A and B are shown apart, each in its own frame.
Chain A
């Protein structure tokens, strides 16, 4: 008998006023009882609309059916057929606009908590000791993956399962890309990311850190000298944008990338960390995306008394997930909407002292279809702050493009690739933010998955 409750099981979480002072995970995950109960809400639809909403097409009703039976290992195996990083995706995917958006139960009431169940299954599996992973038999073909973010790891995992000898090249000292330097510990514990990477290594994926491709080795060298038959570029979009307003190079002004890298990758939030971060009392985060929410919530946890989100459009236009905005508000982040900075002003010590802002109004829709913000005459005011974090977007790093002959890119830097991820160079594929510009973890994974299939086909055909 299905559970016909209109609401999904709430996930236990830390109280807002407790969690905004620590870096522990906010959402605590389902218990076994909650998971079993939630799994009963799935109607096991024959046409599986949820699956179409998942960029990697996990057989959702099938795995939920196993959960409902109490067969969590069986559920994990079904998810693994499609996803290499379930503990990550169950946490950071915007399910409301993907799988759960299409859920039949969502027509009247709330969708099934697919993400929460995926997370439960992955965490249950990962908490087991001594899980033996069988390394697939090698097919003798070598593939290089550049970048160890979600798209690279997914591509590597899929190819390893098919028997390819995959080497992932990562520029930083830790693998995971945005999962380790960008998304904070309280949303995605780093131990979980490491665990998923260990699983990939057990499948035979080699991970080489401290390798800046384009500097230490070029793509041509990987293919001509090192015997990689195909290369997948999943180097992301990590180049931060600045506003180019006066005062932006004052002490206390960070890009969100720098701020989050110091906090997450270098663990600057920990007592005794070797990597410093500014001690700030009043912080302004400029921007309204998920990265802005992450930066603001980190700043609060580092002890700032007041943290502002400064965004030039209104609440309806905030690009961040509704849930992230909600969490930020619960934790005491102050939203200054329809506000745009025009200058950052120094204090007596030549550090950030204030931010000069103007109020905005929404005018006619622009080319992107969004209503264009227009400055309100005479609305200038000063916001007293001692730290400013610029979170207005990123673009692909030009390093790979500038060192790879014949690799075509868009004007804004994105690598040009077809629907299978094939670039203008034979055997060279690309996907994720390196192609699309900054997007979501799961879209990057979907691209990695598609490219892995295309790479397999390419190598098999070539060797026929």
Chain B
């Protein structure tokens, strides 16, 4: 069992949890992920490592409540335990030799973008962060990003906070203004990453994406998380989750991600019934 040592509600749909897992905390690097099960009959879900404290022995996860399992997880309180917590899995993000990088995060993807921005910043790299949310109520980690970014562009779809517009608008403006990036790192909804890649391809800027396909074991034994990258089949859990965004078949990934939509919707409404909540 793994204890929740801190719980913090970041916005109405996004929660942070710091989990006691000293061995994982010792090894985890930005870009890696963990797999957890809330309880004995639960499913295994992957979540990216949002932060870690090697001395305290904790790993931080940030999750959006999107279905039955995240709903159940969100009902766990500080001091309670979750059944299983496995990691660190996947390959850490590459940061070697980067001098100037644009980190583009969308929604809860910002929770994954943040530790990479932080690491790059600590390595002395110039970091331009572009973070996007639907509206001001959903903004997370603004202060954290501000601390590690040389430039921070806050975007909201409705203009209720920061600038109105999409992350691609801000990225395009920065590139057009003459900023030259070694690399763009983007993490967020598949559709957002797809359009970031489309944009950067025009300018020939190398772009790394963090993929989030359906997973079971997360150790390379099933291939449920497979993607087509540069015409080859790759397992996101062991070969990734980071890939060259210009080589990823996003349309296929979007299709595969919808495989259990109906089941998930049903399970979510059941979970919400359990907690007397309305499905949003």
- The 0/1 profile, CB within 8 Å of B marked 1, for residues 225-269 of chain A is 000000000000011101010001111101101100110001100
CB distance from B63 to the nearest CB of A (A): 16
* Cβ-based interface call for A276 (8 A): yes
Residues of B in contact, count (CB < 8 Å): 39
Interface centre among A173, A242, A266 (most CB of B within 10 A): A173
How many angstroms between the C-alpha atoms of A210 and B217 in the bound complex?
Answer: 10
C-beta contact mask, A273-288 vs B, less than 8 Å → 1, else 0? 1111010000000000
| Chain A residues with CB below 8 A from B94, complex form | none
20 A–B contacts, CB within 8 A, in A order: A173-B83, A173-B86, A212-B86, A212-B87, A217-B23, A242-B233, A249-B226, A249-B228, A251-B256, A257-B221, A258-B222, A261-B222, A274-B41, A274-B43, A275-B43, A276-B267, A278-B259, A350-B255, A397-B220, A397-B221
- From A171, A251, A255, A261, contact of B259 by CB (8 A): A251
B219: chain A residues within 8 A (beta carbon):
171, 212, 238, 397, 399
Q: A251-B255, A257-B222 are in contact. Are A274 and B68 (CB under 8 A)?
A: yes
Given contacts A266-B43, A274-B42, contact A242 B223 (CB under 8 A): yes
- Taking CB atoms, residues of chain A closer than 8 Å to B220 are 238-239, 397-399
Residue in chain A with minimal CB distance to B67? A274
B69 contacts A274, CB within 8 Å? Answer: yes
User: A265 → chain B, closest Cβ, in Å?
Assistant: 8
Closest beta carbon of chain A to B237's beta carbon, Å: 11
B-side contacts of A252, CB under 8 Å? 259
Could you say which residues of chain A place their CB within 8 Å of the CB of B57?
none
> Does B258 contact A251, Cβ atoms closer than 8 Å?
yes
Q: Who on chain B is nearest to A278 by CB?
A: B259
User: Are B27 and A210 touching (Cβ within 8 A)?
Assistant: no
Residue in B closest to A259 when the chains form the complex, CB atoms? B222
- Quick one: which of A209, A250, A274, A278 has the most chain B CB within 10 A? A274
CA of A250 to CA of B254, assembled, Å: 11
Interface of A is mostly: loop
Q: Are B222 and A276 in contact (CB under 8 A)?
A: no
Interface residues of B in 157-208 (CB under 8 A from A): none
Residue of B nearest to A394 (CB): B221
Give the contacts of B55-100 with A (CB-CB under 8 A).
68-69, 83-89
Q: Which residues of B contact A275 (CB under 8 A)?
A: 43-44, 216
* In the complex with contacts A173-B37, A249-B252, A261-B216, A215-B89 CB distance below 8 A: yes
Cβ of B138 within 8 Å of any chain A Cβ, yes or no, is no
A62 within 8 A of B: no
The answer, yes or no, to whether B24 is at the interface (CB within 8 Å) is yes
**B221-280 residues at the A interface, CB under 8 angstroms:** 221-224, 226-228, 233, 238, 252, 255-256, 258-260, 263-264, 267
Cross-chain contact B228 with A240 (CB below 8 angstroms): no
Q: Is the interface of B mostly helix, strand, loop or mixed?
A: mixed
Which chain A residues have a beta carbon within 8 Å of chain B's beta carbons? 171-173, 209-212, 215-217, 238-240, 242, 244, 248-252, 254-255, 257-258, 261-262, 266-267, 273-276, 278, 350, 397-399
Closest approach, in angstroms, between the C-beta of A451 and any C-beta of chain B? 22
Q: Please tell me if the beta carbons of A173 and B223 are within 8 angstroms of each other in the complex.
A: no
- A274 interface neighbour in B85, B227, B259, B267, Cβ under 8 Å: B267
**Interface residue from B216, B238, B255, B259 paired with A266 (Cβ < 8 Å):** B216
Chain A residues, CB < 8 A from B217:
171-172, 261
Residues on B with C-beta less than 8 A from A216 are: 23-24, 27, 87-88
Q: Do A255 and B223 have beta carbons less than 8 Å apart?
A: yes
B223 proximity list for chain A (CB < 8 A): 240, 242, 255, 257-258
A173/B259 contact (C-beta < 8 A), A397-B221, A399-B238 known: no
B233: chain A residues within 8 A (beta carbon):
242, 244, 248-249
Known pairs A173-B37, A216-B23, A248-B233; list 16 more (Cβ under 8 Å). A171-B219, A173-B83, A209-B84, A210-B84, A212-B89, A215-B27, A215-B87, A238-B220, A239-B220, A242-B233, A244-B233, A252-B259, A257-B222, A266-B44, A275-B43, A276-B264
The closest CB in chain A to the CB of B37 belongs to A173
Residue of B nearest to A258 (CB): B222
A261 partner, pick from B88, B221, B228, B256, beta carbons under 8 A:
B221
**List of 3 A-B pairs having minimum Cβ-Cβ separation, nearest first:** A258-B222, A238-B221, A276-B263
Question: Nearest A residue to B259 by beta-carbon distance?
Answer: A251
Closest residue of A by beta carbon distance from B225: A258
Q: Is the CB of B260 within 8 A of A240?
A: no
Complex Cα spacing A262 to B41, Å: 13
Given A173-B83, A262-B216, A266-B44, A215 and B88 contact (CB-CB distance below 8 Å): yes
Which residues of chain B are within 8 angstroms of A278 by Cβ–Cβ distance? Answer: 259
Task: Give Cα A212–Cα B259 distance, bound, in whole angstroms.
Answer: 27
User: What is the distance, in angstroms, from B29's C-beta to the closest C-beta of chain A?
Assistant: 11
Chain A residues closer than 8 Å to B88, beta-carbon distance: 215-216
Q: Which residues of B contact A262 (CB under 8 A)?
A: 216
Question: Closest CB of chain B to A400's CB: distance in Å?
Answer: 11
A191 to chain B, nearest CB (A): 15
Within 8 A of A (CB), among B7-37: 23-24, 27, 37
